[in-house]
Amino acid sequence: MHIVMASSEAIPFAKTGGLADVAGTLPIELAKRGHDCSVFLPAYRVSKHFLQEQPGSQFDESVASLVVDLAGYPIHAWIHRVRLPNSPVDFYLVDQPMFYDRQGLYGDSRGEFGDNCARYCFFSRAVVEAIERLQLPIDIIHCHDWQTGLIPAYHRTQTNHHSWYKRCASVMTIHNMAYQGRFWGPDMVLTGLDHSYFHWEWMEYYGDLNLLKTGIAFADALTTVSPTYAREIQSPPQGCGLEGVLSARADRLFGIVNGIDEATWNPASDPYLEHHYNIDTWKDGKAACKRSLQESLGLPIRPEVPLIGIVGRLAEQKGWDLILQLMQWWIDHRDLQWVILGSGEQRYADALFQLAMQRPDRVSLLTTFSDPLAHRIEAGADLFLMPSLYEPCGLNQLYSLRYGAVPVVRSTGGLADTVQDASEENILRGVATGFVFEDYKPEALAQATIRALDVYSQAPEVWSKIVTSGMSQDWSWAKSADAMLDVYEHARHLAKNDQRL
Protein backbone atom coordinates (compact mmCIF):
# COMPACT_ATOMS: atom_id res chain seq x y z
CA MET A 1 0.00 0.00 0.00
CA HIS A 2 0.93 3.64 -0.40
CA ILE A 3 -0.05 5.46 2.79
CA VAL A 4 -0.18 9.24 3.04
CA MET A 5 -0.41 10.84 6.45
CA ALA A 6 -1.48 14.41 7.11
CA SER A 7 -0.59 15.90 10.47
CA SER A 8 -0.06 19.32 12.01
CA GLU A 9 3.17 18.08 13.61
CA ALA A 10 5.65 15.23 13.35
CA ILE A 11 9.02 14.47 14.89
CA PRO A 12 11.68 15.57 14.28
CA PHE A 13 10.25 18.64 12.49
CA ALA A 14 7.79 20.02 15.05
CA LYS A 15 6.34 18.73 18.30
CA THR A 16 4.02 19.80 21.08
CA GLY A 17 2.79 16.35 22.18
CA GLY A 18 2.31 12.66 21.43
CA LEU A 19 0.71 13.41 18.05
CA ALA A 20 4.16 14.27 16.69
CA ASP A 21 5.58 10.93 17.85
CA VAL A 22 2.86 9.00 16.05
CA ALA A 23 3.08 10.95 12.79
CA GLY A 24 6.86 10.79 12.75
CA THR A 25 7.44 7.20 13.88
CA LEU A 26 4.47 5.11 12.66
CA PRO A 27 5.29 5.72 8.95
CA ILE A 28 8.81 4.37 9.50
CA GLU A 29 7.42 1.17 11.02
CA LEU A 30 4.96 0.80 8.15
CA ALA A 31 7.77 1.30 5.63
CA LYS A 32 9.72 -1.51 7.31
CA ARG A 33 6.81 -3.77 6.34
CA GLY A 34 7.20 -2.90 2.68
CA HIS A 35 4.66 -0.08 2.39
CA ASP A 36 5.34 3.31 0.80
CA CYS A 37 4.73 6.15 3.23
CA SER A 38 4.55 9.92 2.87
CA VAL A 39 3.80 12.56 5.49
CA PHE A 40 2.43 16.07 4.91
CA LEU A 41 2.85 18.79 7.53
CA PRO A 42 3.07 22.59 7.58
CA ALA A 43 6.45 24.24 6.98
CA TYR A 44 6.67 25.93 10.36
CA ARG A 45 9.54 28.22 11.27
CA VAL A 46 10.84 25.60 13.70
CA SER A 47 10.74 22.97 10.93
CA LYS A 48 12.89 25.12 8.66
CA HIS A 49 15.34 25.76 11.48
CA PHE A 50 15.60 22.02 12.08
CA LEU A 51 16.45 21.39 8.43
CA GLN A 52 19.14 24.07 8.47
CA GLU A 53 20.82 22.29 11.37
CA GLN A 54 20.30 18.75 10.07
CA PRO A 55 23.22 17.45 7.99
CA GLY A 56 22.66 14.83 5.35
CA SER A 57 19.00 15.54 4.63
CA GLN A 58 17.81 15.47 1.05
CA PHE A 59 15.81 18.66 0.45
CA ASP A 60 13.93 19.09 -2.82
CA GLU A 61 12.59 22.61 -2.94
CA SER A 62 9.22 23.32 -4.52
CA VAL A 63 8.46 19.92 -6.02
CA ALA A 64 5.00 21.38 -6.55
CA SER A 65 3.30 24.73 -6.24
CA LEU A 66 -0.39 25.45 -6.12
CA VAL A 67 -2.97 28.10 -5.35
CA VAL A 68 -5.81 27.59 -2.86
CA ASP A 69 -8.90 29.76 -3.10
CA LEU A 70 -9.65 30.59 0.52
CA ALA A 71 -13.00 32.37 0.73
CA GLY A 72 -12.28 34.17 -2.53
CA TYR A 73 -8.64 34.97 -1.79
CA PRO A 74 -6.04 33.09 -3.87
CA ILE A 75 -3.21 31.95 -1.59
CA HIS A 76 -0.04 30.32 -2.89
CA ALA A 77 1.59 27.21 -1.42
CA TRP A 78 4.94 25.63 -2.17
CA ILE A 79 5.49 21.93 -1.46
CA HIS A 80 8.99 20.89 -0.40
CA ARG A 81 10.07 17.25 -0.17
CA VAL A 82 12.46 16.09 2.55
CA ARG A 83 14.14 12.72 3.02
CA LEU A 84 15.98 12.35 6.33
CA PRO A 85 19.19 10.29 6.64
CA ASN A 86 18.50 6.54 6.77
CA SER A 87 14.74 7.13 6.51
CA PRO A 88 12.48 5.51 3.90
CA VAL A 89 9.72 8.12 4.41
CA ASP A 90 9.07 11.18 2.25
CA PHE A 91 8.07 14.26 4.22
CA TYR A 92 6.27 17.03 2.34
CA LEU A 93 6.24 20.48 3.91
CA VAL A 94 3.40 22.81 2.93
CA ASP A 95 5.03 26.23 2.84
CA GLN A 96 3.02 29.41 3.21
CA PRO A 97 4.96 31.97 5.30
CA MET A 98 1.91 34.10 6.07
CA PHE A 99 0.38 31.15 7.93
CA TYR A 100 3.32 29.12 9.24
CA ASP A 101 6.37 31.36 9.64
CA ARG A 102 5.59 32.10 13.30
CA GLN A 103 7.18 31.51 16.67
CA GLY A 104 4.65 28.90 17.78
CA LEU A 105 2.68 26.14 16.09
CA TYR A 106 -0.83 26.97 17.31
CA GLY A 107 -0.30 30.10 19.36
CA ASP A 108 2.12 32.21 21.35
CA SER A 109 2.35 33.77 24.81
CA ARG A 110 -0.84 35.75 24.09
CA GLY A 111 -2.89 32.63 23.35
CA GLU A 112 -4.05 30.69 20.30
CA PHE A 113 -3.68 32.34 16.91
CA GLY A 114 -6.93 33.98 15.84
CA ASP A 115 -6.67 32.63 12.29
CA ASN A 116 -6.16 28.96 13.17
CA CYS A 117 -9.28 27.97 11.27
CA ALA A 118 -7.93 29.57 8.10
CA ARG A 119 -4.45 28.13 8.68
CA TYR A 120 -5.63 24.54 8.86
CA CYS A 121 -8.39 24.81 6.28
CA PHE A 122 -5.64 26.01 3.97
CA PHE A 123 -3.36 23.15 5.03
CA SER A 124 -6.03 20.49 4.41
CA ARG A 125 -6.92 21.93 1.01
CA ALA A 126 -3.26 22.21 0.04
CA VAL A 127 -2.63 18.57 0.97
CA VAL A 128 -5.41 17.20 -1.24
CA GLU A 129 -4.26 19.39 -4.14
CA ALA A 130 -0.62 18.40 -3.65
CA ILE A 131 -1.39 14.68 -3.71
CA GLU A 132 -2.98 15.21 -7.13
CA ARG A 133 -0.14 17.37 -8.44
CA LEU A 134 2.51 14.92 -7.27
CA GLN A 135 0.49 11.98 -8.65
CA LEU A 136 1.08 9.91 -5.53
CA PRO A 137 -0.34 6.37 -5.96
CA ILE A 138 -2.32 6.60 -2.73
CA ASP A 139 -4.33 3.81 -1.09
CA ILE A 140 -4.86 5.29 2.39
CA ILE A 141 -5.09 8.90 3.52
CA HIS A 142 -4.49 8.87 7.27
CA CYS A 143 -5.47 12.12 9.02
CA HIS A 144 -4.60 13.17 12.55
CA ASP A 145 -6.74 15.37 14.82
CA TRP A 146 -8.90 18.38 14.01
CA GLN A 147 -6.24 20.17 11.98
CA THR A 148 -6.78 17.63 9.17
CA GLY A 149 -10.47 16.89 9.78
CA LEU A 150 -11.52 18.44 6.47
CA ILE A 151 -9.59 15.94 4.35
CA PRO A 152 -12.04 13.01 4.88
CA ALA A 153 -14.85 15.42 3.98
CA TYR A 154 -13.20 16.38 0.69
CA HIS A 155 -12.48 12.72 -0.03
CA ARG A 156 -16.08 11.73 0.58
CA THR A 157 -18.00 14.63 -0.96
CA GLN A 158 -15.89 15.70 -3.93
CA THR A 159 -15.29 12.36 -5.60
CA ASN A 160 -14.96 13.90 -9.07
CA HIS A 161 -12.47 16.61 -8.10
CA HIS A 162 -9.33 14.43 -7.94
CA SER A 163 -8.49 11.05 -9.39
CA TRP A 164 -7.06 9.70 -6.13
CA TYR A 165 -10.31 10.20 -4.21
CA LYS A 166 -11.91 7.15 -5.83
CA ARG A 167 -9.06 4.74 -5.28
CA CYS A 168 -8.30 5.28 -1.59
CA ALA A 169 -9.89 5.12 1.86
CA SER A 170 -9.65 7.64 4.68
CA VAL A 171 -8.68 6.98 8.29
CA MET A 172 -9.03 9.56 11.06
CA THR A 173 -7.07 9.28 14.33
CA ILE A 174 -8.31 11.12 17.43
CA HIS A 175 -5.47 11.88 19.81
CA ASN A 176 -7.39 13.95 22.36
CA MET A 177 -11.10 14.73 22.33
CA ALA A 178 -10.55 17.91 24.32
CA TYR A 179 -9.13 19.65 21.25
CA GLN A 180 -11.77 19.84 18.52
CA GLY A 181 -11.03 22.82 16.28
CA ARG A 182 -14.31 24.59 17.05
CA PHE A 183 -14.84 27.91 15.28
CA TRP A 184 -17.75 30.24 14.65
CA GLY A 185 -20.24 29.25 11.95
CA PRO A 186 -19.31 31.86 9.30
CA ASP A 187 -15.87 30.21 9.02
CA MET A 188 -17.64 27.47 7.04
CA VAL A 189 -16.85 29.54 3.93
CA LEU A 190 -13.13 28.80 4.48
CA THR A 191 -13.68 25.08 3.93
CA GLY A 192 -14.83 25.45 0.32
CA LEU A 193 -17.55 22.87 0.94
CA ASP A 194 -21.20 23.32 0.15
CA HIS A 195 -23.09 24.95 3.01
CA SER A 196 -25.53 22.03 3.07
CA TYR A 197 -22.89 20.11 5.03
CA PHE A 198 -23.09 22.68 7.82
CA HIS A 199 -25.60 20.38 9.47
CA TRP A 200 -25.75 18.59 12.82
CA GLU A 201 -25.03 15.24 11.15
CA TRP A 202 -21.79 16.44 9.56
CA MET A 203 -19.91 19.63 10.43
CA GLU A 204 -22.11 21.83 12.61
CA TYR A 205 -21.97 21.80 16.40
CA TYR A 206 -24.32 24.14 18.30
CA GLY A 207 -24.03 26.74 15.57
CA ASP A 208 -20.26 26.42 15.25
CA LEU A 209 -17.99 24.74 12.74
CA ASN A 210 -16.32 21.72 14.36
CA LEU A 211 -13.41 20.30 12.38
CA LEU A 212 -12.85 17.23 14.55
CA LYS A 213 -16.52 16.32 14.23
CA THR A 214 -16.13 16.76 10.48
CA GLY A 215 -13.35 14.18 10.34
CA ILE A 216 -15.26 11.77 12.58
CA ALA A 217 -18.41 12.07 10.48
CA PHE A 218 -16.79 11.57 7.08
CA ALA A 219 -13.83 9.19 7.59
CA ASP A 220 -14.11 5.59 6.44
CA ALA A 221 -12.51 4.34 9.67
CA LEU A 222 -11.63 5.94 12.99
CA THR A 223 -8.90 5.18 15.46
CA THR A 224 -7.90 6.53 18.81
CA VAL A 225 -4.88 5.90 20.94
CA SER A 226 -6.05 3.15 23.30
CA PRO A 227 -8.92 0.63 23.50
CA THR A 228 -10.19 2.02 26.82
CA TYR A 229 -10.21 5.58 25.48
CA ALA A 230 -12.17 4.35 22.44
CA ARG A 231 -14.87 3.15 24.83
CA GLU A 232 -14.70 6.19 27.13
CA ILE A 233 -15.25 8.74 24.38
CA GLN A 234 -18.58 7.20 23.43
CA SER A 235 -20.16 8.63 26.58
CA PRO A 236 -19.79 11.77 28.70
CA PRO A 237 -17.63 13.30 29.99
CA GLN A 238 -14.80 11.88 27.86
CA GLY A 239 -16.76 12.33 24.64
CA CYS A 240 -16.57 16.10 25.18
CA GLY A 241 -19.95 16.60 23.51
CA LEU A 242 -19.26 14.36 20.50
CA GLU A 243 -20.18 11.07 22.16
CA GLY A 244 -23.31 10.81 20.01
CA VAL A 245 -21.53 10.91 16.66
CA LEU A 246 -18.86 8.54 18.00
CA SER A 247 -21.44 6.06 19.27
CA ALA A 248 -23.18 6.15 15.91
CA ARG A 249 -19.89 5.15 14.27
CA ALA A 250 -18.75 2.67 16.93
CA ASP A 251 -18.55 -0.14 14.37
CA ARG A 252 -15.62 1.61 12.69
CA LEU A 253 -13.87 3.01 15.79
CA PHE A 254 -10.72 1.18 16.90
CA GLY A 255 -8.38 1.77 19.84
CA ILE A 256 -4.68 1.19 19.21
CA VAL A 257 -2.11 1.97 21.90
CA ASN A 258 0.71 4.22 20.74
CA GLY A 259 4.15 2.68 20.66
CA ILE A 260 7.46 3.98 21.92
CA ASP A 261 10.74 4.29 20.06
CA GLU A 262 12.68 1.49 21.72
CA ALA A 263 15.95 2.66 20.19
CA THR A 264 15.59 6.08 21.82
CA TRP A 265 14.07 4.82 25.07
CA ASN A 266 16.44 1.99 25.98
CA PRO A 267 18.25 1.99 29.34
CA ALA A 268 20.89 -0.35 27.91
CA SER A 269 22.11 2.24 25.41
CA ASP A 270 20.53 5.60 26.35
CA PRO A 271 23.16 8.31 25.63
CA TYR A 272 21.69 10.52 28.39
CA LEU A 273 22.53 7.97 31.10
CA GLU A 274 25.89 7.71 32.82
CA HIS A 275 25.13 4.11 33.78
CA HIS A 276 23.39 1.59 31.53
CA TYR A 277 21.40 -1.46 32.53
CA ASN A 278 18.97 -4.07 31.24
CA ILE A 279 16.39 -6.44 32.69
CA ASP A 280 19.18 -8.57 34.23
CA THR A 281 21.27 -5.74 35.67
CA TRP A 282 18.60 -3.21 36.64
CA LYS A 283 19.25 -3.30 40.40
CA ASP A 284 22.82 -2.06 40.16
CA GLY A 285 22.08 0.11 37.13
CA LYS A 286 19.11 1.94 38.61
CA ALA A 287 20.93 2.40 41.92
CA ALA A 288 23.79 4.10 40.07
CA CYS A 289 21.38 6.24 38.03
CA LYS A 290 19.52 7.21 41.19
CA ARG A 291 22.73 8.28 42.90
CA SER A 292 23.77 10.29 39.84
CA LEU A 293 20.34 11.97 39.65
CA GLN A 294 20.34 12.88 43.33
CA GLU A 295 23.83 14.32 43.10
CA SER A 296 23.17 16.40 39.98
CA LEU A 297 19.91 17.85 41.40
CA GLY A 298 21.34 18.67 44.82
CA LEU A 299 19.31 16.08 46.71
CA PRO A 300 20.91 14.14 49.57
CA ILE A 301 22.44 10.92 48.26
CA ARG A 302 20.34 8.42 50.16
CA PRO A 303 19.87 5.13 48.31
CA GLU A 304 17.40 3.79 50.88
CA VAL A 305 14.87 6.62 50.41
CA PRO A 306 12.21 6.01 47.73
CA LEU A 307 12.55 8.49 44.86
CA ILE A 308 9.31 9.46 43.11
CA GLY A 309 9.56 10.85 39.58
CA ILE A 310 6.96 12.95 37.76
CA VAL A 311 7.37 14.22 34.19
CA GLY A 312 4.56 16.01 32.37
CA ARG A 313 2.61 19.16 31.71
CA LEU A 314 1.48 21.14 34.74
CA ALA A 315 -2.20 20.82 33.82
CA GLU A 316 -5.36 19.57 35.49
CA GLN A 317 -5.55 16.66 33.05
CA LYS A 318 -2.32 15.22 34.46
CA GLY A 319 -3.73 14.95 37.99
CA TRP A 320 -1.82 17.79 39.62
CA ASP A 321 -4.66 18.58 42.01
CA LEU A 322 -4.18 15.09 43.47
CA ILE A 323 -0.39 15.20 43.44
CA LEU A 324 -0.18 18.54 45.21
CA GLN A 325 -2.59 17.44 47.91
CA LEU A 326 -0.55 14.27 48.45
CA MET A 327 2.73 16.20 48.61
CA GLN A 328 1.29 18.71 51.08
CA TRP A 329 0.09 15.87 53.31
CA TRP A 330 3.40 14.02 53.21
CA ILE A 331 6.13 16.59 52.70
CA ASP A 332 7.14 16.77 56.38
CA HIS A 333 5.90 13.36 57.47
CA ARG A 334 7.14 10.77 54.96
CA ASP A 335 10.79 10.28 54.13
CA LEU A 336 10.56 10.52 50.33
CA GLN A 337 12.30 12.38 47.54
CA TRP A 338 10.35 13.99 44.68
CA VAL A 339 11.85 14.90 41.31
CA ILE A 340 9.46 16.91 39.13
CA LEU A 341 9.95 18.07 35.54
CA GLY A 342 7.29 19.96 33.62
CA SER A 343 5.88 23.31 32.58
CA GLY A 344 2.35 24.62 32.31
CA GLU A 345 -0.19 26.38 34.51
CA GLN A 346 1.32 28.94 36.86
CA ARG A 347 -0.90 27.97 39.81
CA TYR A 348 0.67 24.52 39.88
CA ALA A 349 4.18 25.87 39.36
CA ASP A 350 3.74 28.31 42.27
CA ALA A 351 2.49 25.60 44.64
CA LEU A 352 5.35 23.27 43.68
CA PHE A 353 7.87 26.07 44.11
CA GLN A 354 6.62 26.61 47.67
CA LEU A 355 7.10 22.92 48.45
CA ALA A 356 10.59 22.94 46.94
CA MET A 357 11.50 25.98 49.05
CA GLN A 358 10.01 24.38 52.15
CA ARG A 359 11.91 21.09 51.77
CA PRO A 360 14.80 21.40 49.30
CA ASP A 361 16.14 18.13 50.73
CA ARG A 362 13.05 16.33 49.48
CA VAL A 363 11.82 18.17 46.37
CA SER A 364 13.67 18.99 43.16
CA LEU A 365 11.66 21.05 40.66
CA LEU A 366 12.42 22.15 37.10
CA THR A 367 9.53 24.02 35.46
CA THR A 368 10.64 23.68 31.87
CA PHE A 369 11.24 20.68 29.63
CA SER A 370 14.51 18.83 29.24
CA ASP A 371 14.60 15.63 27.22
CA PRO A 372 17.91 14.49 28.75
CA LEU A 373 16.56 15.01 32.27
CA ALA A 374 13.32 13.19 31.40
CA HIS A 375 15.41 10.13 30.48
CA ARG A 376 17.49 10.42 33.67
CA ILE A 377 14.39 10.70 35.86
CA GLU A 378 12.94 7.51 34.37
CA ALA A 379 16.23 5.74 35.02
CA GLY A 380 16.74 7.08 38.55
CA ALA A 381 13.19 6.97 39.91
CA ASP A 382 11.86 4.08 41.96
CA LEU A 383 8.22 5.10 41.37
CA PHE A 384 6.59 7.21 38.68
CA LEU A 385 3.30 9.01 39.41
CA MET A 386 0.73 9.55 36.67
CA PRO A 387 -2.73 10.01 38.28
CA SER A 388 -4.39 11.56 35.22
CA LEU A 389 -7.94 12.88 35.20
CA TYR A 390 -8.05 11.42 31.68
CA GLU A 391 -5.30 10.05 29.47
CA PRO A 392 -6.05 9.05 25.86
CA CYS A 393 -2.87 6.96 25.70
CA GLY A 394 0.09 8.30 27.65
CA LEU A 395 3.72 7.62 26.89
CA ASN A 396 5.47 8.33 30.17
CA GLN A 397 4.05 5.21 31.81
CA LEU A 398 5.47 3.20 28.89
CA TYR A 399 8.88 4.81 29.33
CA SER A 400 8.64 4.05 33.06
CA LEU A 401 7.89 0.38 32.45
CA ARG A 402 10.85 0.16 30.08
CA TYR A 403 13.18 1.83 32.62
CA GLY A 404 11.99 -0.05 35.71
CA ALA A 405 10.34 2.98 37.37
CA VAL A 406 7.19 1.36 38.73
CA PRO A 407 4.15 3.44 37.68
CA VAL A 408 1.34 4.51 40.01
CA VAL A 409 -1.56 5.43 37.73
CA ARG A 410 -5.26 6.09 37.65
CA SER A 411 -7.36 3.58 35.69
CA THR A 412 -8.31 5.69 32.69
CA GLY A 413 -7.64 5.58 28.95
CA GLY A 414 -4.28 4.19 27.93
CA LEU A 415 -3.13 3.94 31.54
CA ALA A 416 -5.78 1.27 32.15
CA ASP A 417 -4.63 -0.61 29.05
CA THR A 418 -0.90 -0.61 29.77
CA VAL A 419 -0.42 -0.98 33.54
CA GLN A 420 -1.49 -4.13 35.42
CA ASP A 421 -2.25 -3.55 39.08
CA ALA A 422 -0.12 -5.30 41.69
CA SER A 423 -3.02 -7.21 43.17
CA GLU A 424 -2.27 -10.48 44.95
CA GLU A 425 -3.61 -12.42 41.97
CA ASN A 426 -1.56 -10.48 39.41
CA ILE A 427 1.58 -10.79 41.51
CA LEU A 428 1.11 -14.57 41.75
CA ARG A 429 0.53 -14.77 37.99
CA GLY A 430 3.64 -12.68 37.35
CA VAL A 431 1.78 -10.01 35.34
CA ALA A 432 1.74 -7.12 37.84
CA THR A 433 3.54 -4.06 36.45
CA GLY A 434 2.38 -1.16 38.66
CA PHE A 435 -0.20 0.21 41.09
CA VAL A 436 -3.60 1.30 39.80
CA PHE A 437 -6.47 3.18 41.47
CA GLU A 438 -9.95 4.15 40.28
CA ASP A 439 -11.43 7.22 42.00
CA TYR A 440 -10.12 10.65 41.09
CA LYS A 441 -9.47 11.58 44.72
CA PRO A 442 -6.25 12.37 46.60
CA GLU A 443 -7.12 9.66 49.14
CA ALA A 444 -7.19 7.05 46.35
CA LEU A 445 -3.82 8.21 45.04
CA ALA A 446 -2.44 8.09 48.58
CA GLN A 447 -3.65 4.53 49.12
CA ALA A 448 -2.14 3.32 45.83
CA THR A 449 1.17 5.05 46.56
CA ILE A 450 1.28 3.62 50.10
CA ARG A 451 0.74 0.14 48.63
CA ALA A 452 3.69 0.73 46.33
CA LEU A 453 5.92 2.09 49.10
CA ASP A 454 5.06 -0.84 51.37
CA VAL A 455 6.06 -3.36 48.71
CA TYR A 456 9.22 -1.36 47.93
CA SER A 457 10.39 -1.35 51.55
CA GLN A 458 8.95 -4.59 52.91
CA ALA A 459 8.86 -7.06 50.01
CA PRO A 460 11.94 -6.55 47.78
CA GLU A 461 11.41 -9.87 46.00
CA VAL A 462 7.89 -8.88 44.99
CA TRP A 463 9.15 -5.45 43.94
CA SER A 464 11.74 -7.13 41.75
CA LYS A 465 9.04 -9.19 40.05
CA ILE A 466 6.98 -6.07 39.35
CA VAL A 467 9.99 -4.24 37.89
CA THR A 468 11.09 -7.11 35.64
CA SER A 469 7.54 -7.79 34.49
CA GLY A 470 7.24 -4.15 33.41
CA MET A 471 10.62 -4.13 31.69
CA SER A 472 9.72 -7.26 29.71
CA GLN A 473 6.61 -5.68 28.14
CA ASP A 474 6.54 -5.02 24.39
CA TRP A 475 5.19 -1.54 23.70
CA SER A 476 7.13 -1.04 20.50
CA TRP A 477 5.78 0.65 17.40
CA ALA A 478 5.98 -2.72 15.65
CA LYS A 479 2.87 -3.98 17.46
CA SER A 480 1.00 -0.72 16.85
CA ALA A 481 1.90 -0.75 13.15
CA ASP A 482 0.50 -4.24 12.66
CA ALA A 483 -2.78 -3.21 14.29
CA MET A 484 -2.97 -0.09 12.13
CA LEU A 485 -2.49 -2.12 8.96
CA ASP A 486 -5.55 -4.17 9.91
CA VAL A 487 -7.52 -0.93 10.26
CA TYR A 488 -6.36 0.22 6.83
CA GLU A 489 -7.65 -2.98 5.23
CA HIS A 490 -10.95 -2.60 7.06
CA ALA A 491 -11.21 1.02 5.93
CA ARG A 492 -10.71 0.00 2.29
CA HIS A 493 -13.53 -2.51 2.61
CA LEU A 494 -15.81 0.04 4.27
CA ALA A 495 -15.03 2.70 1.66
CA LYS A 496 -16.25 0.44 -1.13
CA ASN A 497 -19.57 -0.19 0.59
CA ASP A 498 -20.39 3.18 2.17
CA GLN A 499 -23.57 4.57 0.62
CA ARG A 500 -24.27 7.38 3.11
CA LEU A 501 -23.87 10.22 0.62
Q: Give yes or no: residues 455 and 413 share one domain.
A: yes
Q: Give yes or no: residues 345 and 483 share one domain.
A: no
- pLDDT classification of 397: cutoffs 50, 70, 90: very high
Asked if residue 274 is part of any domain, the answer here is no
- Better pLDDT: 56 or 359: 359
pLDDT at residue 301, as a whole number: 97
Euclidean distance between CA atoms 203 and 149, whole angstroms: 10
pLDDT at residue 179, as a whole number: 95
Q: In this predicted model, what pLDDT tens digit does every residue of 447-463 receive, in sequence order? A: 999 999 999 999 999 99
How many domains, the chain?
Answer: 2
Q: Give yes or no: residues 251 and 185 share one domain.
A: yes
405's CB contacts (< 8 A; 6+ apart) are: 309, 377, 378, 379, 381, 382, 383, 384, 399
- pLDDT classification of 166: cutoffs 50, 70, 90: confident
Q: Give yes or no: residues 428 and 493 share one domain.
A: no
**C-alpha 214, offset from chain centre:** 21
Q: In this predicted model, what pLDDT tens digit does every residue of 8-41 receive, in sequence order? A: 999 999 988 889 989 999 999 999 999 999 999 9
State the average pLDDT over residues 267-291: 97
Asked if residue 267 is part of any domain, the answer here is no
- pLDDT classification of 261: cutoffs 50, 70, 90: confident
State the average pLDDT over residues 269-280: 97
pLDDT at residue 499, as a whole number: 58
pLDDT at residue 161, as a whole number: 83
State the average pLDDT over residues 164-180: 95
Q: Give yes or no: residues 75 and 28 share one domain.
A: yes
Q: Give yes or no: residues 422 and 485 share one domain.
A: no
Asked if residue 277 is part of any domain, the answer here is no
Percent of the chain with pLDDT over 90: 88
Asked if residue 1 is part of any domain, the answer here is no
- pLDDT classification of 496: cutoffs 50, 70, 90: confident
- Better pLDDT: 292 or 51: 292
State the average pLDDT over residues 282-301: 98
Asked if residue 270 is part of any domain, the answer here is no
Euclidean distance between CA atoms 268 and 248, whole angstroms: 46
State the average pLDDT over residues 240-268: 95
Q: Give yes or no: residues 391 and 490 share one domain.
A: no
Asked if residue 265 is part of any domain, the answer here is no
Q: Give yes or no: residues 459 and 488 share one domain.
A: no
**218 near 498, Cβ under 8 Å?**
no
| CATH classification of the domain holding 446 | 3.40.50.2000
Q: In this predicted model, what pLDDT tens digit does every residue of 315-353 receive, in sequence order? A: 999 999 999 999 999 999 999 999 999 988 999 999 999
Q: Give yes or no: residues 183 and 299 share one domain.
A: no
pLDDT at residue 500, as a whole number: 53
Which strand (E) or helix (H) includes residue 437?
Answer: strand 435-437
Q: What is the mean pLDDT of the chain?
A: 95
Q: Give yes or no: residues 325 and 459 share one domain.
A: yes
Which structural domain, as residue segments, surrounds residue 179?
8-259+478-497
- pLDDT classification of 89: cutoffs 50, 70, 90: very high
Q: Give yes or no: residues 407 and 356 share one domain.
A: yes
Residue 497 pLDDT > 80: no
- pLDDT classification of 501: cutoffs 50, 70, 90: low
Q: In this predicted model, what pLDDT tens digit does every residue of 106-139 receive, in sequence order? A: 998 888 999 999 999 999 999 999 999 999 999 9
Q: In this predicted model, what pLDDT tens digit does every residue of 189-214 receive, in sequence order? A: 999 999 999 999 999 999 999 999 99
Summary count for the chain: helices (H), strands (E): 18, 20
Residue 98 pLDDT > 80: yes
Query: Could you tell me the CA-to-CA distances from 190 to 206, 339, 396 in Å, in that order?
Result: 18, 47, 38
Percent of the chain with pLDDT over 70: 99
Euclidean distance between CA atoms 402 and 264, whole angstroms: 11
Q: Contacts from 230-236 at CB under 8 Å and sequence distance 24+?
A: 230/254, 230/255, 231/255, 232/390, 232/412, 232/413, 233/174, 233/177
Asked if residue 276 is part of any domain, the answer here is no
Asked if residue 273 is part of any domain, the answer here is no
Q: Please say whether the dihedral angle defined by the alpha carbons of residues 306, 311, 317 and 321, taken in this order, is positive or negative.
A: positive
Euclidean distance between CA atoms 199 and 92, whole angstroms: 33
Q: Give yes or no: residues 148 and 204 share one domain.
A: yes
- Read off the pTM: 0.92
